Amino acid sequence: MKARFVTLRSRAGFTLVEVLLTLMIMAGIMVSITQILTAARTSRDTIHNIQETMLAGPAILDLLERDLRSLSVYDRTRLMQLRVKNRVTAGLDGDSIDFVANSKSRVLTAIEDRFTRSPLCEIGYRLRVRPDDDQFLEIWRREQFGVDDDPFEGGEYQYLHERVKAFDIQTFTEDGPDGEPLEEWGTDRAEENIGLPARIEVTLTLELAPRLVNEQISFLSTDRRTLTYKRIIRIPEGLRAEEEDLPVPMIPKVPAPPANAPAEVGGAAKGNNNNNDRTSGPPPPTGTLPPN
């Protein structure tokens, strides 16, 4: 009987209390690991979003400045050189700018079974409400192959960014601290402001794009979720010419000869050379000598 009791005792397992205690310890370890992984992933996504937004803002402004640096006024009236419109879309600043640039187009166009780029094209920047979220704007770059009669409309659009909170453009007639900002330029409501301004200031505000739902709420405050970039672009004075000084294509005109010019242009005047002056008679025939 004693041997049988020893055998049954050796086959006994863990008690219920021991099993529950083990499960609680394992659950605590798993919860801690999950929290650490979630925090690491959230931090990674936050850093990625900040870096992406910090790179996107300067890249958009660099593209705009590069286009404005190649602005062309050749064969264009002052009314058709630049247009800046003050627009408010869904309660957000979404100004637009249009002009003609003397730079190769970024979009390839098929002409006679081959793709080519235009050395002169229309360029503009437009914004619209984001289709799936009306709290943000999308910014697009407009480009028209060549130049037509209306350089401020038409063309193809290139997508740039989808989380724009503000895009404000101000123009100045004078380059200095005392210049008054103008919200519009070259429009029907600003007929006196035509041609090219002395300075253009562009302000772009972007918001971080969270990969996880509400991930920015626990890490960044509201004012730190948006990044604002500002760029000042000065227009060279040589481009800001008056209407009569603008370069235009013309057909050259040959000036008329003066009234006192000799009748035979390129020959000697009569009486200047007696050796070549014949008094009378027709010219001798070819191959014979004149009489003595």
Going from the C-alpha of 235 to that of each of 71, 72, 161, 195, 257, the distances in angstroms are 9, 11, 26, 11, 43
- Evaluate if residue 83 carries a pLDDT over 90: yes
Could you read off the pLDDT of 187-206 as tens digits, one per residue? Answer: 887 778 888 999 999 999 99
Could you read off the pLDDT of 85-142 as tens digits, one per residue? Answer: 999 998 999 999 999 998 888 888 888 888 888 889 999 999 999 999 889 999 999 9
- Evaluate if residue 16 carries a pLDDT over 80: yes
Q: Looking at residue 288, what is its pLDDT?
A: 43
Q: Looking at residue 109, what is its pLDDT?
A: 83
- Evaluate if residue 182 carries a pLDDT over 70: yes
Least confident of 21-30, 171-180, 281-290: 281-290
Q: Are 171 and 200 spatial neighbours (Cβ–Cβ below 8 Å)?
A: yes
CA 20 to chain centre: 65
- Evaluate if residue 221 carries a pLDDT over 70: no
Going from the C-alpha of 99 to that of each of 70, 123, 124, 172, the distances in angstroms are 10, 6, 6, 17
More confident of the two residues 271 and 3? 3
User: How many C-beta atoms lie closer than 10 Å to residue 247's C-beta?
Assistant: 10
More confident of the two residues 78 and 264? 78
Q: Looking at residue 292, what is its pLDDT?
A: 45
Could you read off the pLDDT of 35-61 as tens digits, one per residue? Answer: 998 888 877 777 766 667 678 899 999
Could you read off the pLDDT of 142-172 as tens digits, one per residue? Answer: 999 988 888 999 899 999 999 999 999 999 9
State the pTM of this model.
0.67
Task: Taking residues 164-189, report their average pLDDT.
Answer: 90
Could you read off the pLDDT of 245-284 as tens digits, one per residue? Answer: 766 676 777 777 777 766 554 444 444 444 444 444 555 4
Task: Taking residues 198-223, report their average pLDDT.
Answer: 69
What token pair was written down for 133?
A: 């979220």
What token pair was written down for 136?
A: 């943000």
Q: Looking at residue 191, what is its pLDDT?
A: 75
